[in-house]
A and B are shown apart, each in its own frame.
Chain A
C-alpha cells in the first residue's frame, strides 16, 4: 500500500523536520531569552516579526523567501557569490523555509518558560557567583526544560505538516524536496485516493499522538514543578 516513493517522501520529511528542529532550538533559545528579558525598544518589533508566520499564509512566506533567495534576490546573489549556488528548489532551501515557518512554534513555548521563571532564580545564581552566561546554562535552561520539550515537539510536528511553503520554495523534486504533504497532493491530483488515504491517515494519527503526548507531559511537568 505504501510505495517506495512514498517511503522516500516520509524519510525526507523526517529528515527535514529533524534538522529544522535542531536549528530552531539553537536559534530560538537566545532569541526567546532576549525577548523575555530585554527592555530594549526593539523588543516589540522583533516579537511581532517572530510571530508573523503564525498569521501569514505560508505561500506569502514562501514567495518572499523565493524572491530573496533566488538568483536575483539579495541573499541569492550572496550565496552565488560564495559559490553555494541558489537555495530554492534544494533541500537546504527547504530547511531555511521550515525554520522561518516554524519559528514562532519554537519561540513561544521558550518565551513562556523563561517568563514564568521570573528573575529570582537568576538573581539567586548571581549571589552564588554565577556569571549571566553561566546562569543561563546552569539555571535558566534546566528550569525551562518543559518549554524546550514543547518547542521541539511543536517545531517538529509543524514542519512535518508544511505544504504551501514547500510548494513555493522547493517545488516537488523527488528525493530532494518532495515531502509528505506534496506527495499526498500528488496522489490526489492523480486520483490515487487509496495511497493518499494511507499517508493522510498516518499524518493525522501522528499529529494527534504528538499533541496528546505533549499535553500529558505538560500536566506532569506542572505537578513536578510545584
Chain B
C-alpha cells in the first residue's frame, strides 16, 4: 500500500467497529456502498477529520493528514465536503456561501478562476443572488458542491448528497454529478446506499458491511462478483461498460457492444462510439439450452454457465454466466426457478442461451 491516497482506520463505536485499509485511485468517483450502520459516513468523517479514530492513517496525494504523530484539524485539510442536507450556511446568500471558503483559502487569485469554472460546471450562475432558503434541494447541493470545488480540494467527499431529495430532484441532479465525474480530475468518495447512484456514477466501488470492507474494485467487476449482500434481492444484476456500435433507425434501436457480446437497446440519440453504461438485472435474463430458441426477445447471447447458487427463497436459483471468450468476456447473472435449473440440467461448463428481456441504459 504505497498509494498516494491511502486511508487506514480503526474507529470503535458502540454499534460497530470501523476497520478499513483502502487506497483511492487518483481520480474518479469511488462509491462507498453499504446499509445504514455499516460505517460509511463514519469513514468519510474520519477522512475529513470530523471524527478522530483511535488508530488512523490518512494520506492524500502524498500529504499526511493523520498518522501516529499528526492530526490535522478539518479546517487545515485541503478537502471538499458535501453533507447530506443542510450543507449551506443559512445566514448567507448563494454568493456568500461560494465565497466563504475562498476568502479563507491560500490561493484567492487562482480561486476566483476555479470558482467561475465550478459555477459553470454546475450551472448555478443564475442563482448567485438568491437566499439559501429560496433554493430547491437539488440547487442547494449543486451550490454546496461548487463551493467545495472552488477551493481546489485534493479530494471531494460526498455524504449521500441525494438522500434528502425526492425522485424527480434526484433525476435532475444526476447529470450534473456525471459531469463532475468526467471533468474534475480529483478522487471523490461518494457515500450512498442507493444502487442506482452506484451504477450510474461510480468508477470504483467499496462495499462496507458492519464496518469491514466486504469487496472493492472497479464497479462493474464488483457488481459482477456479487460476493456481497448489496446486490441480492430484486436489484441483483450487473453493470456493463459498452459503446454504441450500430443504429437501426427503422425500429428506433441501437446496438451497444461490451466485452464478449452486444445488446439492442432503445435508440437514445447518442453518437456512434459513445460510451454507455448498461444495467442488466438477474430477473430479466432467462436461459435456454439446445438450438437457439425462437422468441420475441431480441437479445440472445451465447453464454457458458460458471456457477450455480441458491437464492434467498428455495424456489429460486442464481446462475452466474460468462458471455464471450477469456479476456473478451463479461459476467451476467440470471435468476431462474430451481425447477427450471433442474429441468435444463444446468451445471458449470454447460453452454446455454441467455435471453435478455430488458437492459437499461443507466448513464454514460
Residues of A within 8 A of B (CB): 120-121, 123-132, 134-135, 138-139, 142-143, 225
Contacts and interface: CB of A to CB of B under 8 A. Distances in A.
Which of A120, A123, A124, A128: most chain B CB closer than 10 A?
A: A128
A213 to B, nearest CB: 22
Contacts of B104: 128-130, 134
Interface of B: 48, 50, 73-76, 79-81, 83, 86-91, 100-101, 104-105, 147-148, 151
A127 B105 contact: no
6 contacts: A120-B86, A121-B86, A124-B87, A126-B75, A127-B48, A128-B151
A125 B96 CA distance: 12
Which applies to chain A's interface (DSSP): helix, strand, loop or mixed?
Answer: helix
A142 B132 CA distance: 15
A123 B101 contact: no
A128 B90 contact: no
Contacts of B101: 127-130
A130 B75 contact: yes
A127 B74 contact: yes
Contacts of A143: 90-91
A129 B50 contact: no
A124 B83 CA distance: 8
A139 B83 CA distance: 17
B231 to A, nearest CB: 32
Contacts of A134: 75, 104
Contacts of B105: 129
Which of A121, A127, A130, A142: most chain B CB closer than 10 A?
A: A127
Contact of A128 (B73, B86, B147): B147
Contacts of B151: 128-129
Contacts of A127: 48, 50, 74-75, 79-81, 101, 148
A128 B50 contact: no
A116 to B, nearest CB: 12
B114 to A, nearest CB: 14
A14 B81 CA distance: 49
A123 B80 CA distance: 12
A130 B103 CA distance: 10
A126 B89 contact: no
B75 A129 contact: yes
A130 B74 CA distance: 9
A73 B75 CA distance: 47
Contacts of A120: 83, 86
